[in-house]
Amino acid sequence: MTGAETAATRALRERRAAVKQAFIRLTDRVYVATGYGMSTFAFVVGDTGVVAVDAGSDPGPTAQALGELRRHTDLPLLGVVYTHGHIDHTDGAMAFVEENPDIQIWAIKPFGTEGRWLARNGAKIAALRAAWHFGSFLPDETFTNVGTPDPDSARRAGLGAAPDPRIRPRRRFVGSATIRLGGVALEVSHNPGETDDQIMAWFAEERVAFAADNIYPSWPNLYAIRGTRYRDVRTWCESVDRIRALRADHLVLGHGRPLSGADRIDETLGVYSRALWHVYNATIEGMNAGRTPDELAHEVTLPDDLAGHPWLREYYGTVAWSVRSIFAGVLGWFDGNPTSLNPLPPADRARRIAELCGGPEVLLTEACGALAEGEAQWAAELCDMLLALDFRRSDAAALKADALDDLAENLLTSAGRNYLRTGAQRLRKSIDASGAG
C-alpha cells in the first residue's frame, strides 16, 4: 500500500482525534460521561440518591467518571439501569459495585438476548469475528478507528473476558415500568432496534430521553459484520419514531455527545427516521419487484438531500449491508434466482472458469492487472478462485492481501476496514508460516 492518505482514512483519523473525554452537566440533575470508554453513560441525581443509565465499557474509565460525579454530589449511587446487553454498556459497572455492593442493577426481561442466541447455538466464531470487526489484532500503524468514541477500549473489548457475575442485573421489568430510587423517577420501556432487549429511558422531570444505541452519529449497524441475528429494521424505525414523539429537550445517546434543544433533536431524529425508513421501504419494494440482494445492495441509496448528512455517514454500518440484512431477515437466504438453489462448490466453479479463460495462470495475470488498474474488488475475487484451486497459493494470498488493503484504505466504514485489514494480515502470516515450514 503506497500513495497519499485517502479521503476515507483522513476522515476517520479526524473523527478519532475529535473525540474528547467530557463530563457534562446536561441539566440540574443529569450528568453525562462521554469518552470514558467505548460508550456514553449518565447519572440522574435525585433527592437522596443517584441512578446511572448504563455503566460504560471498562471499570477504570467508569471509576474516573464516578470521581467527576463526586465533585458535584456525594449522594449514594443506588442503582444502574442497563439500556441493553452489549458489554460496552455494562462491563464498567464493576466500578459501581465496588462503591456500593448493594446497588440495584436493573434491566428488561429478557436481557442479553443477542449474546444468549449466539451461545445457545454454539456460534463461537462470533467472538473471533468481533475481534476482527474491532481491529483487536491490528498493529497501531494499520488501525484507524472503530466508529465509536474510544477506539482503544473497543479493541480491548474485542478480546475481553467474560463479565464478572456481580454486574448481572438482578431486578427486571417487563414491557415498561417506572423505576423509583432516591427521589429519581425514571420511565423505562422496551424499544428494540440494535438489539431485541433495547430500552428507552425517559426522565420526565427535565425532559431528558436516553436513546441507547438506536441512534448515534453514523449510519447505524442495521447489520453487524461480526455476526448477529436479524435486527428487525422496521421495528428499529418505529423505535426511532417513538423517541422522537417524546419531543425531548435533551437526548443522551449510547455513543457520542448528548444533544440539547427540542427543535435540533426533532430535526436530527427526523433525518435519521426518514433515512432508515427509506432504505427499508426501497429494499422491500425491490424485493417485491424480484430484485436479488446483490442487485439491491448496489441500487438502494439514500436520497440526495440525505446522502451527505453528517449523522448518516457510513462510519460504522453501511446502506449496502443494511439492504442485504433486510432481504435475508424478511425472506431468508434464497435470493429468488433458481440458479442459486444449488450452486457449484467454489473450487469446481473456479476450475471451470479457469478452463474457460485458458488456465489458472491467466486468472493470476488478470488479478495482478486488475489490482494495478485500481480494481481491487475484482482482484480479490479472482484471488479467491486461485486459492480455491490451490494454485500458486503464496502468490495468490499475497495478491489478495494487497487487494484487501487497497479496499480498506478507501473504505470509510471502520468495521469493514478493520475486517479487511485483519484478513490481509492473516493471509500474510499464512504465507510466512508456509515458508517457515
Q: What is the pLDDT of residues 54-94, one digit of tens each?
A: 999 999 999 999 999 999 999 999 999 999 999 999 999 99
Q: What pLDDT is stored for residue 437 in this prediction? A: 45
Q: What pLDDT is stored for residue 392 in this prediction? A: 97
Q: What pLDDT is stored for residue 146 in this prediction? A: 79
Q: What pLDDT is stored for residue 324 in this prediction? A: 98
Distances (CA, A) of 42 to 45, 254, 286, 305, 354: 10, 10, 41, 33, 59
Q: Evaluate whether 61 touches 36 at the Cβ level (below 8 Å).
A: yes
Q: How far is CA 77 from the centre of its chain?
A: 30
How far is the C-alpha of 231 from the C-alpha of 84, rounded, in Å?
Answer: 14
- Which position has the grid cell 504465507? 431
Q: What pLDDT is stored for residue 261 in this prediction? A: 98
Q: What pLDDT is stored for residue 149 in this prediction? A: 60
Q: In which residue ranges of the chain is pLDDT below 70?
A: 1-3, 148-151, 156-162, 436-437
Give residues with Cβ within 8 angstroms of 420, minimum separation 6.
Answer: 404, 405, 407, 408, 411
Q: What pLDDT is stored for residue 18 in this prediction? A: 76
Q: What pLDDT is stored for residue 161 in this prediction? A: 60
**Which amino acid, 272?**
Y
Q: What pLDDT is stored for residue 158 in this prediction? A: 58
Please give the model's pTM, rounded to 2 decimal places.
Answer: 0.94
How far is the C-alpha of 125 from the C-alpha of 230, rounded, in Å?
Answer: 17
